[in-house]
Amino acid sequence: MEDNSGGKLNFKNDLRRFLRIFIFVFVIVFLVINSGKVFGMFNYGVVYGNLFKDYLSEKIQENRIDNSNPFAALPSISPVPTPTPVASIIPSQALVSSAGPAPATSKKPVATPFVATSFIEIPKIGIKVPIVFQNSTNTKVLEKALKSGVVHYPTSSLPGQSGAVMIAGHSAPAGWKRNYDWVFNRINELPAGSEIFIYYNNQKIRYTVVRNFLLNPGAAIPVNSSFSKSLYLSTCWPPGQSKAKRMIVEAQGS
């Protein structure tokens, strides 16, 4: 009886060799045809765009003006003059921002040029950032100013004066550190008794947290009239979701 084992072995070896060549050629052809998509998977810019621009950036952009911005909860109070920036008592390591002069004429609202000489400090959550003062209540101007720090609402009282000081800031998803979008991410962690300091007009003004609470977008802050001096911080809540609620921190001045 003839032994065909050698022939079978050669056939198997030839088959394996053919399969290897076929798979190799198939992979090469697949990569050539789909090179854009395949290499895009390893392109940081593409991955960043898909994951962050389409998701996290969308969350941040919800803060665009639609009556659901951080200022939506701030009530109108009798107008007060916007201060002229003066020398600050902030240490030299504090953040300082500046902007060039605004055009003489413009049809679009323009943010008031400023040099950051006023700051807010919240030791409990490790915040020390500039306060931007604006003349205009135009929401586009205020929104632009939020890129440079937190913003004093122009019709509220000035720091240290009698009445209610209103300050708004952004909040953002965890890990987001663009501009000052993150600044009020943790104001919900301020229990009663927490200190807030405002450096303004060569003064260090102290406020003590009384409570924090949530409001619906557009609802006015219930100002506590029993306080001669008060401070209200406002931000979108949860962080990055401007159409949800407003987190308000109420503090009493010394």
At 161-211, the pLDDT tens digits run: 999 999 999 888 766 777 888 899 999 999 999 999 999 999 999 999 999
Q: Judging by beta carbons within 10 Å of its beta carbon (0-12, 13-18, 19+), is residue 85 exposed, middle or buried?
A: middle
Identify whether the C-beta of residue 204 lies closer than 8 Å to the C-beta of residue 210. Answer: no
Q: Write down the pLDDT at residue 73.
A: 59
Q: Write down the pLDDT at residue 139.
A: 83
Q: Judging by beta carbons within 10 Å of its beta carbon (0-12, 13-18, 19+), is residue 187 exposed, middle or buried?
A: buried
Mean pLDDT for 50-60 is 42
Amino acid identity, position 100: G
- Asked if pLDDT for residue 128 goes beyond 90, the answer is yes
Per-residue model confidence as pLDDT tens digits over 130-165:
999 988 888 888 888 998 999 999 989 999 999 999
Overall pTM surpassing 0.95 (yes/no):
no
Identify whether the C-beta of residue 78 lies closer than 8 Å to the C-beta of residue 158. Answer: no
- Pinpoint the alpha helices (H) of 112-212: 139-145
How far apart (Å, rounded) are the C-alpha atoms in residues 220 and 135? 21
Identify whether the C-beta of residue 157 lies closer than 8 Å to the C-beta of residue 63. Answer: no
CA within 13 Å, CB half, 70: 37
- For residue 214, count other CB atoms closer than 10 A to its CB: 13
CA within 13 Å, CB half, 44: 0
- Pinpoint the alpha helices (H) of the chain: 5-33, 35-40, 44-48, 57-61, 139-145
Question: Which residues are 204's β-sheet partners?
Answer: 199
Identify whether the C-beta of residue 211 lies closer than 8 Å to the C-beta of residue 231. Answer: no
Residue of 142, 251, 117, 147 whose CA lies nearest to 190: 251
- For residue 253, count other CB atoms closer than 10 A to its CB: 22
CA dihedral 252, 136, 118, 164 (to 10 degrees): -10
How far apart (Å, rounded) are the C-alpha atoms in residues 250 and 254? 13
Q: What are phi and psi of 226, to 5 degrees?
A: -80, -15
